[in-house]
Structure 1
Amino acid sequence: MKAELNITLIARGCAITGDMVVDHGISCFGLLDGGIISTQGLLHIGEGGLIKGTAQGEHVRIDGRVDGDVHARGSLEINGQVSGDIFYCGTIRLGPRAALNGTLKRVARMLTIEAQTEQKQGAVADARPSDSASGERVESNVTDISRVIA
């Protein structure tokens, strides 16, 4: 049986506004004005690709540009530009064209993504709107993607 390869491609000339969460690999050669999380596989920011937000993934390769923090649980390879803090726990490789403007921090695997997501998720959960008349919380039927991304 042949294994399926799941990957999302953001092509050159494509611009996406908002946050993305995928459970497979992703290659970005366009513009993503928001954060991106790839829970499995490779998160690749190709040449000409630009992420204006946080980039989080298992294996991260940056040949383009990220204006935001980068979180890598496994391997991290940078041949492009990063303007933000970098958190990694596996291996890191900086290529000859790597340009970093921020801090580089090696952290425990659980601190690369999961712990920050839980902390901020709790803050979002506590900030749910309340009914002004009764003071009770109003549950929304709309999923707030920022709980996952933020």
Structure 2
Amino acid sequence: MKTELNITLIARGCAITGDMVVDHGISFFGLLDGGIISTQGLLHVGEGGLVKGSAQGEHVRIDGRVDGDVHARGSLEINGQVSGDIFYSGTIRLGPRASLNGTLKRVARMLTIEADSTLDEGPIGGPRLDDVKGQERAESNVTELSRAKA
């Protein structure tokens, strides 16, 4: 049985205005003035990539910059800059070049993203995270991180 790997590549120099929702992996190296959701696979904001909105995915890797909240249902790796809150339910890895300005919250898996997300319901489909504060799992780690951008 052959497995196909579906990945969309957005190259440097591309500028997109509006929200993007894909049902497969995406590597983004351009400028996105809006949010991005990948319901399956890897969501990669590459070095030089800039997302001015939320970034949500199953597995998320930030090597560029996100000016908005980041939601990761599986794994999260940050080697770039994030200016916004981070919500994760799997593993998280901060690289030596990680720059964070926001809060880190471990949340229940069902609160991170849904395939049928709509813009009217909030960035993750279903209730907004700010409406369900206090409903995180008991073992949640909440850490305030404030680093000045270099």
> What TM-score do the two structures reach when normalised by structure 1?
0.77
Partner of 1:3: 3
Unaligned 5+ runs, structure 1:
121-150
Deviation at 1:4, TM superposition (A): 1.4
Partner of 1:39: 39
Question: Over residues 90-144 of structure 1, what are the superposed CA-to-partner deviations in whole Å (9 max), with x where a residue is unaligned?
Answer: 0000000000000000111011224941236xxxxxxxxxxxxxxxxxxxxxxxx
Greater share of residues in helix: 1
Q: Secondary structure at the match of 1:97?
A: coil
1:27 is aligned to: 27
State the one-letter code of the partner of 1:101: N
> Residue type matched to 1:19 in 2?
D
Corresponding residue SS for 1:102: strand
C-alpha distance in 1, partners of 2:103/2:126?
23
Give 1:119's match in structure 2, choosing from 112, 124, 127.
127
Are positions 1:50 and 2:50 aligned together?
Answer: yes
Query: Which residue identity lines up with residue 86 of structure 2 in the other structure?
Result: I
Deviations 1:1-55 (A, max 9, x none): 4321111111000000000000000000001110000000000000000000000
How far did 1:65 drift?
Answer: 0.2
Answering whether residue 97 of structure 2 is matched by residue 97 of structure 1, we say: yes
State the distance in 1 between where 2:111 and 2:127 align: 11
> What SS class does the counterpart of residue 2 from structure 1 fall into?
coil
| Identity across matched positions, percent | 89
For residues 34 and 102 of structure 1, the distance between their equivalents in structure 2, rounded to whole angstroms, comes to 19
Structure 2's unaligned 5+ residue stretches are 115-120, 129-150
Encode CA deviations 1:46-69: one digit per residue, 9 max, x unaligned: 000000000000000000000000
Distance 1:111 1:117 in 2: 9
In structure 2, the residue matched to 1:147 is: none
Supply the distance in 1 between the matched residues of 2:57 and 2:101 (Cα, whole angstroms). 20
Partner of 2:126, secondary structure, is: helix
